């Protein structure tokens, strides 16, 4: 398909995991009915963003992620019944003591295509993900779906050009970024505009540098911190960028939205031909990229 409709679910989450899951499922169905071919959730959509604190109790939110798990079986049925590809972000329990921030891809016929485990794990105030998540070990990959060859990266991955490049080099024409990012209220007035602009700009840059589409799906709303600290105001503004870095769609700052954006995959070949970044890469000169720092 040259023309593909991507669907984005930007929403608030409650304390009720079942409510969040059912709400998302209904939004997937609604978007599919409205013409979406591929639908992505936001990061960790089944719960509030629990990484604001370090608390062993939250490991109980994790689930086994494979074809036999109830969540995957439900999403497979939804995908097949609605002829829609689903990208879903989940808290994965791999085994006792090893947990991942994981995204799964399910094809429009209900086939489970596999998963991506978040590679870059942050550890910032109110984003204490290193406490919960082991870095991914499945590499950067492309999922060949009915409608398009897609890649999936997750939130903090979006700051790293290496991740976008390797995903695009594996064949992805669309890179999805399920995300949970926002402002700390105490910082918003002084740094909020710069923080958001940096986030959007770096991802639009990935689209340009790799001649692909970027779809960033963020959550929205204020979530109080479980320990009584200031909490996070998620800034929404989910968006779709084309290979020229132009915004085709952008959501609101503070509203739940079900969004559909048509993208034209036929332009990718011409973009990559006229802007031949892949051709001109000096792969013989990049050995030092695997070093932590060049002294």
Give pLDDT tens digits along the chain (295 positions). 899 999 999 999 999 999 999 999 999 999 999 999 999 999 999 999 999 999 999 999 999 999 999 999 999 999 999 999 999 999 999 999 999 999 999 999 999 999 999 999 999 999 999 999 999 999 999 999 999 999 999 999 999 999 999 999 999 999 999 999 999 999 999 999 999 999 999 999 999 999 999 999 999 999 999 998 899 999 999 999 999 999 999 999 999 999 999 999 999 999 999 999 999 999 999 999 999 999 9
* Class of CATH domain 3-280: alpha beta
Decide if 291 is catalytic. Answer: no
**Residue ranges per domain, the chain?**
3-280
Q: What's the rounded Cα separation, in Å, for the pair 85 and 215?
A: 14
The residue from 13, 23, 27, 43 that is catalytic is: 43
Tokens of 157: 């991955």
Decide if 43 is catalytic. Answer: yes
Only one residue has tokens 């489970």, namely 112
Q: If residue 75 lies in a helix (H) or strand (E), which one and from where to where? A: helix 70-82
Q: What's the rounded Cα separation, in Å, for the pair 276 and 175?
A: 19
Tokens of 138: 């499945």
Q: What pTM did the predictor assign?
A: 0.98
User: If we measure between CA atoms, which residue out of 27, 180, 25, 54 comes closest to residue 118?
Assistant: 180
The residue from 118, 129, 141, 173 that is catalytic is: 118
The residue from 13, 51, 155, 261 that is catalytic is: 155
Q: What's the rounded Cα separation, in Å, for the pair 87 and 148?
A: 13
Decide if 33 is catalytic. Answer: no
Q: What's the rounded Cα separation, in Å, for the pair 19 and 264?
A: 35
By DSSP bridging, strand 142-144 and strand 149-152 are: antiparallel
């Amino acid at each position: 398909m040259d023309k593909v409709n991507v669907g984005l679910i930007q929403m608030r989450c409650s304390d009720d995991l079942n409510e969040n899951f059912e709400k998302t499922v209904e939004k997937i169905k609604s978007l599919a009915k409205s013409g979406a071919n591929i639908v992505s959730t936001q990061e960790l959509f089944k719960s509030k963003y629990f990484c604001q604190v370090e608390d062993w109790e939250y490991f109980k939110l994790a689930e086994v992620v494979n074809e036999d798990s109830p969540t995957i079986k439900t999403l497979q049925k939804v995908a097949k019944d609605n002829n829609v590809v689903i990208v879903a972000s989940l808290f994965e329990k791999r085994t006792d003591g090893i947990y991942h921030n994981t995204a799964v891809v399910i094809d429009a016929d209900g086939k489970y295509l596999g998963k991506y485990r978040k590679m870059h794990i942050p550890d910032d105030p109110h984003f204490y993900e290193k406490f919960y998540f082991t870095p991914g070990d499945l590499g950067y990959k492309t999922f060949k779906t009915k409608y398009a060859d897609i890649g999936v990266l997750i939130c903090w991955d979006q700051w790293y050009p290496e991740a976008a490049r390797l995903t695009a080099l594996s064949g992805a024409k669309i890179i999805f970024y399920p995300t949970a990012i926002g402002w700390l209220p105490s910082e918003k007035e002084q740094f909020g505009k710069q923080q958001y602009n940096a986030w959007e700009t770096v991802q639009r840059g990935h689209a340009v540098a790799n001649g692909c589409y970027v779809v960033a799906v963020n959550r929205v709303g204020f979530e109080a911190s479980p320990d009584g600290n200031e909490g996070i105001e998620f800034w929404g503004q989910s968006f779709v960028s084309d290979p020229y870095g132009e915004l085709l769609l952008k959501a609101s700052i503070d509203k739940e939205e079900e969004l559909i954006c048509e993208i034209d995959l036929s332009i990718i070949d011409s973009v990559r031909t006229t802007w031949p970044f892949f051709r001109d890469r000096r792969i013989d000169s990049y050995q030092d990229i695997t070093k932590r720092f060049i002294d």
